[in-house]
Amino acid sequence: MLQVGIIGGAGYTAGELIRLLMHHPKAEINFIYSTSNVGNKVSHIHQDLVGSTELKFTDTINSEIDVLFLCLGHGNSTAFLENNSFSVKTKIIDLSNDFRLKKDGIFDGKTFVYGLPELQKEKIQTATCIANPGCFATALQLAILPLADKGLLNDDVHINATTGATGAGTSLSKTTHFTWRDNNFSYYKPFIHQHLGEVHQTVNQLQNNFNSEINFMPNRGNFSRGIFATVYTKFDGSLEEAKSIYNNFYKDAAFTFVSDEEVHLKQVVNSNKCLLHLHKHNNKLLITSAIDNLLKGASGQAIHNMNLMFGFEETEGLKLKANFF
């Protein structure tokens, strides 16, 4: 059994990570580190785990664990690793944005591999450190990478995507209070969302001559979890040609599927799937992408990366059914 440590155990992504690891047949949680909840039962914070675990939060670490998950706020993973050391055998999976860009990917002699399995499974399999992708970045990249792989992103890309309230984390702010979020809808960070850096990086990795605009409009939805993205760009081929490109690109993907029918959020919430749908209108290709932001967009993808790093079956611990009804 892999011995697993979790740093920053009180947030939404940590809660989902704990739930997944508790049911993973080849991993065991060694400790859950949280300075704000020392001594408290994990189920006191993550109340869906009442009756499932007696684990408590701790402020001590075991440096000899096999894998370390960092579920800290953006910018805090770097600080934690500067102040704490682990065994050379310990593999690290960071769920923040600290190491996702190549310019930030080398830290203290460690090289962080960008952990999007559909993009570079082989590199993940031999990696010792993983930078887990962002939630929006995951949904958007999976929508357009097949086109970039064929050098077919030759015009501006237009994206409108909506995320649930859990995408904002557990800390309260003006736009996360129930009275503001309920029966409401708004955009934020138009055209400048921080996940665009990851999207540009992977698009250029596959199509280095890409020099068009990626116009991204992120929205806040009045639901709890999930990301629903619609993406369109110029495409001169037929719908059948587009489907062939996408199906071939994802033919070996464990969790990304191209649907012939229109997709919706209930098909993916509580699962590690990404569902894509293609629609052609005149010279434009519309790609719909739907994921669970806490699973495929965060903790589920982190477990997928762990499975690849340790040679497990990709779907180990991730055979989840969506909350369809």
**Which residues, 6 or more positions from 172, have their beta carbon under 8 angstroms from its beta carbon?**
none
Measure Cα distances from 301 to 115, 138, 149, 277 in Å.
8, 9, 22, 21
Residues serving a catalytic function are 135
Q: Which pTM does this prediction carry?
A: 0.95
Measure the CA–CA gap between 207 and 201, rounded to whole angstroms.
10
DSSP state of 228: E
Write down the mean pLDDT value for the chain: 95
288-304: pLDDT as tens digits = 999 999 999 999 999 99
Q: What pLDDT shows up at residue 171?
A: 66
Q: Where are the domains of the chain?
A: 2-132+298-309, 135-291
Q: What pLDDT shows up at residue 73?
A: 87
125-160: pLDDT as tens digits = 999 999 999 999 999 999 999 999 999 999 999 999
Measure the CA–CA gap between 104 and 275, rounded to whole angstroms.
30
170-182: pLDDT as tens digits = 666 778 778 778 8
Q: What pLDDT shows up at residue 168?
A: 66
Measure the CA–CA gap between 99 and 78, rounded to whole angstroms.
8
**Which residues, 6 or more positions from 202, have their beta carbon under 8 angstroms from its beta carbon?**
114, 116, 119, 141, 145, 148
Q: What pLDDT shows up at residue 172?
A: 65
In 3D, which of 16, 6, 96 has the Cα closest to residue 269? 16
Measure the CA–CA gap between 285 and 89, rounded to whole angstroms.
46
Which residue ranges in the chain fall short of pLDDT 70?
A: 168-172
Measure the CA–CA gap between 236 and 54, rounded to whole angstroms.
58
Q: How many C-beta neighbours within 10 Å does residue 255 have?
A: 23
Provide CATH code, domain 2-132+298-309. 3.40.50.720
Please report, as a single letter, which amino acid is at residue 227: I
Domain at 135-291, CATH homologous superfamily: Dihydrodipicolinate Reductase; domain 2 (3.30.360.10)
